[in-house]
């Protein structure tokens, strides 16, 4: 059923009318979400989508090309700071600003890709980690970037100031649509990258870089390109993130964030677009919403408070969510090494071959 007979079948966006139908249905749901969802969830959706863009980009690097990065918060920061600076200092319109910022991030990605030509595994992890820390530190140390104080984000104006066109997005609803459209474009873009010559080169590098070189994949170009593409995604995500938040300081982009990004990709499923999306959604949701204010949950909360009083400290009860997230992460990897994407494949197989 999943057999591909020719190249064009492989690259088409919708494999069948069924897929097309469900895609359209999903889009419809996504576009109408604000109409029946409480206001405060929109913020969560925005954050999730920003993380999706980043996770999809990171997955191109980690999942498809097989390079590790613990410094993606650095690119994220470049995107956020770059966009805001372009808009405030150079008075550029938003779309141009975010693209320039993303290209700056991509350039830094290219730079980080250079040592990656010789390094692998934990060595590369440390270099990228050092990169992330350095970016955070440089931004924090320079007054152009607002220093440790952080910067306030200007109003999100989609128009062009110089032409007198102004279309300012203020509410989370309006930002939701901007981010949703960007996310869709970026996700479709990532899918297209992976289906082309470039994407196949990435996969070849992941499976064996030396073999890839032998069959004619230029390692220098494609490895650095993978970093640049991934950093570009992070840059776009960072630019949007700044506007979702309205204010940020360098410490927002700390190393823990880089690690969380990596966790999203691995938990979601390495090397697949859907994996990045699912991982970002799940981890963000867990972090931001699930198991918060545990003491206020009926029955269970009271039980936990009693347990805390007996053996633990009540003031530390909130840490229960951290424990739960840790266990969920471990559980997913133990029972499904392919991450949530693996679960999805299994469900699909079960459905398609039912009742056997």
Partner 1 sequence: MTLRKKVPFFFVAALAVLTVAGMAQAAMPAGFDDNEIRIGQWGPQTGPAAPWGSVARGSKLLFDIVNEEGGIHGRKIKYFIRDDMYNPAQTVGVVKELVERAGVLAFVGGVGTASGLAVKDYLAENKVIWVGPVGAVDEYVFPAKPYLFAVNTLYADEGSLLAKYVVDKLNTRKIGILYQNDVYGKAGLEGVKQRLAAYKMGLVAEIPVEPTEKDMASQVLRLKNSGAEAVILYVSPTIAVIALKTSATIGFKPQWVSSHTLSDYPLMNKISGGLWEGVITGAVGDIPDSKHPLMVKYREAAKRLAPEERWGVFYYAGIIFADPLVEALKRVGRNLSTDALLKALNSLTGYQTIGPKINWSEKQHQGTDSIMIHKCGPGGSYIKLQDWTANDLAAWKK
Partner 2 sequence: MVEGLAIGACYGLFATAVVIIYKTSEVVNFAQGEMAMFSSFVAFHILSAYQYPFWLAFVITMLFSILLGILIEFLFLRPAKHPSILGMIVITLGAEMFLMGLASWKWGAEQKFFSLPLNPSVTYEPVKGMIITNWAIAVFAVTACIMLFLYIFFKFTRLGVAMRATQQNKHAAKIMGIRTERIFSFAWGFSSLIGAVAGMFFASRATLDPAFMMEPFLRAFAAAVLGGLMSIPGVIIGGALMGLIENFFGYFWPHWKPIIAFIVIILVLCLRPSGLFTKHYVKKV
- Could you say which of partner 2, partner 1, none residue 328 binds, taking C-beta under 5 to 8 angstroms by partner kind? partner 2
Asked if 255 interacts with partner 2 (CB under 8 A), we say yes
Residue of 26, 138, 307, 314 interacting with partner 1 (CB under 8 A): 314
Asked if 173 interacts with partner 1 (CB under 8 A), we say yes
> For residues 81 and 248, which CB has a smaller minimum distance to partner 1 in the complex?
248
Of the ranges 40-48, 115-123, 183-191, 224-232, which one interacts with partner 2 (CB under 8 A)?
A: 115-123
In whole angstroms, how far apart are CA 94 and each of 59, 171, 232? Answer: 26, 16, 16
Rounded Cα distance, 189 and 23, in Å:
16
The closest alpha carbon to 81, from 61, 58, 104, belongs to 104
In whole angstroms, how far apart are CA 24 and each of 11, 150, 159? Answer: 19, 41, 29
Asked if 32 interacts with partner 1 (CB under 8 A), we say yes
- Could you say which of partner 1, partner 2, none residue 155 binds, taking C-beta under 5 to 8 angstroms by partner kind? none
Asked if 40 interacts with partner 1 (CB under 8 A), we say yes
Residue of 12, 23, 91, 134 interacting with partner 2 (CB under 8 A): 134
Instruction: Specify whether the CB–CB gap between 268 and 55 falls below 8 A.
Output: yes
Q: Helix (H, G, I), strand (E, B), or coil: what is residue 246?
A: coil
Residue of 95, 148, 303, 326 interacting with partner 2 (CB under 8 A): 326
Q: What share of the chain is helix, strand, coil (3-state, %, to 5)?
A: 75, 0, 20
The closest alpha carbon to 294, from 273, 269, 321, 274, belongs to 321
Asked if 177 interacts with partner 1 (CB under 8 A), we say yes
Shortest Cβ distance from residue 75 to partner 1 (Å)?
17
Q: Helix (H, G, I), strand (E, B), or coil: what is residue 310?
A: helix
Q: For residue 248, list its beta bridge partners.
A: 151
Q: Contact residues for partner 2 (CB under 8 A)? A: 62, 68, 115, 118-119, 121-123, 125-127, 129-131, 133-134, 137, 141, 208, 210-211, 214, 255, 259, 262-263, 266-267, 270, 308, 311-313, 315-317, 319-330, 333-334, 337
């Amino acid at each position: 059923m999943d057999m591909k007979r020719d190249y064009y079948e492989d690259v088409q966006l919708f494999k069948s009318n069924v897929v097309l139908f469900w895609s359209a249905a999903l889009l419809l749901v996504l576009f109408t979400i604000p109409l029946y969802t409480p206001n405060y969830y929109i913020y969560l959706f925005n954050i999730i989508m920003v993380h999706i863009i980043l996770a999809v980009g990171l997955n191109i690097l980690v999942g498809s090309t097989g390079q590790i990065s613990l410094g993606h918060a650095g690119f994220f920061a470049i995107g956020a700071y770059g966009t805001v600076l372009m808009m405030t200092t150079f008075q550029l319109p938003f779309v141009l600003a975010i693209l320039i910022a993303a290209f700056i991030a991509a350039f830094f990605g290219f730079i980080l890709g250079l040592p990656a030509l010789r390094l692998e595994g934990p060595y590369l992890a440390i270099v990228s980690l050092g990169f992330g820390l350095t970016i955070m530190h440089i931004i924090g140390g320079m007054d152009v970037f607002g220093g440790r104080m952080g910067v306030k984000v200007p109003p999100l104006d989609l128009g062009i100031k110089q032409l007198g066109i102004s279309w300012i997005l203020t509410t989370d609803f309006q930002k939701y649509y901007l981010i949703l459209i960007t996310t869709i474009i970026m996700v479709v873009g990532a899918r297209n990258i992976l289906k082309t010559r470039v994407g196949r080169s990435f996969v070849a590098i992941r499976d064996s870089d030396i073999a890839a070189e032998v069959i004619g994949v230029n390692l220098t170009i494609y490895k650095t390109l993978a970093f640049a593409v991934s950093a570009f995604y992070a840059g776009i995500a960072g630019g949007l993130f700044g506007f979702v938040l309205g204010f940020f300081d360098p410490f927002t982009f700390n190393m823990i964030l880089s690690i969380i990004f990596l966790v999203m990709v691995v938990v979601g499923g390495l090397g697949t677009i859907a994996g990045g999306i699912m991982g970002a959604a799940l981890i963000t949701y867990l972090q931001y919403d699930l198991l918060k204010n545990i003491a206020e949950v009926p029955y269970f909360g009271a039980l936990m408070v009693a347990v805390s009083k007996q053996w633990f400290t009540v003031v530390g009860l909130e840490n229960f969510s951290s424990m739960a997230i840790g266990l969920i992460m471990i559980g997913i990897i133990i029972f499904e090494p392919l991450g949530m994407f693996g679960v999805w494949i299994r469900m699909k197989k079960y459905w398609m071959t039912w009742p056997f």
